[in-house]
Amino acid sequence: EPEVTQTPSHQVTQMGQEVILRCVPISNHLYFYWYRQILGQKVEFLVSFYNNEISEKSEIFDDQFSVERPDGSNFTLKIRSTKLEDSAMYFCASGTTGVEAFFGQGTRLTVV
């Protein structure tokens, strides 16, 4: 069964460093999303991406964040200069329509 794949599963980074979280969505999907979940809190929307551009972003998704679909298969989330409060589980999701959502297993980001 096709699945959304995220790498790495766990990343530890120093505060101020750039990180890139990678996602390979299901191949025929058109809608792509990043969500995050701070430990003990609910999942929060970061950004949605459709037709090679951002369709919506939350107030969390400030200038430190960016997304790219560099080669038609990968979907990346970059955090330019990480802060301690960026420590969270980051989930990629994709769908053929804008209603369904298939989630990856997540990347646990720890900023030290």
Partner 1 sequence: KNEVEQSPQNLTAQEGEFITINCSYSVGISALHWLQQHPGGGIVSLFMLSSGKKKHGRLIATINIQEKHSSLHITASHPRDSAVYICAVSKASYGKLTFGQGTILTVHP
Q: Which residues bind partner 1 (CB under 8 A)?
A: 31, 33, 35, 37, 41-45, 48, 50, 55-56, 89, 91, 93, 95, 97-106, 108
* Cβ nearer to partner 1, comparing 82 with 107: 107
CB of 16 to partner 1, least distance (A): 25
DSSP the chain: ----EEE-SEEEE-TT--EEEEEE--TT--EEEEEEE-TTS--EEEEEEETTEEEEE-TT--TTEEEE--SSS-EEEEESS--GGG-EEEEEEEESSSS--EE---EEEEE-
CB of 80 to partner 1, least distance (A): 23
